[in-house]
Amino acid sequence: MSNPYLPVLILMVAALAFALGPLALAWIWAKKFSPKKPGPAKNATYECGLESKGDAWVQFKAEYYLYGIIFLIFDVETIFLLPFAVAFTGLSAGAFVAMMIFLLLLVEGLVWAWKKGVLNWE
């Protein structure tokens, strides 16, 4: 009786009963009174009044991911640029040059992707 986990167990049972009780009640109620009435429109997946057409599996263009990656690179770049811009007045010329080289590397990649035709959306 002196098991310290006993209250936890009791609480668990109470929680389960609290959750399952109404569900069981509703289930018994439905069994006793309300008959099930499924139908083709009621069981349809899409529920906005229109009939669904075609397949939910659509192909994404591979360009989308390339776009996404390029966007992500420059998105992350702003995270580096922001503290640089905030502390700009206190920085040395070397820091500025280093940042410009960092920028140049990324822009170089963008130019290369552009040349490859990744940015042309067809």
Q: Is 55 in the site for other proteins (CB under 8 A)?
A: no
Q: Is 54 in the site for other proteins (CB under 8 A)?
A: no
| Least distance (Å) between residue 23 CB and other proteins | 16
Closest CA to 85 of 76, 95, 74, 70: 95
Query: Using CA atoms, how far apart are residues 122 and 120, in angstroms rounded to an integer?
Result: 6
Closest CA to 120 of 60, 59, 58, 66: 66
Q: Is 33 in the site for other proteins (CB under 8 A)?
A: yes
| Least distance (Å) between residue 46 CB and other proteins | 9
Residue type, 48: C
| Least distance (Å) between residue 21 CB and other proteins | 16
Query: Using CA atoms, how far apart are residues 30 and 9, in angstroms rounded to an integer?
Result: 31
Q: Exactly one of 1, 41, 86, 101 binds other proteins (CB under 8 A); which one? A: 41
Q: Exactly one of 18, 37, 79, 90 binds other proteins (CB under 8 A); which one? A: 37
Contact 70, 113 (CB under 8 A): yes
Residues within the interface to other proteins (CB under 8 A) = 33-35, 37, 39-42, 44, 47-51
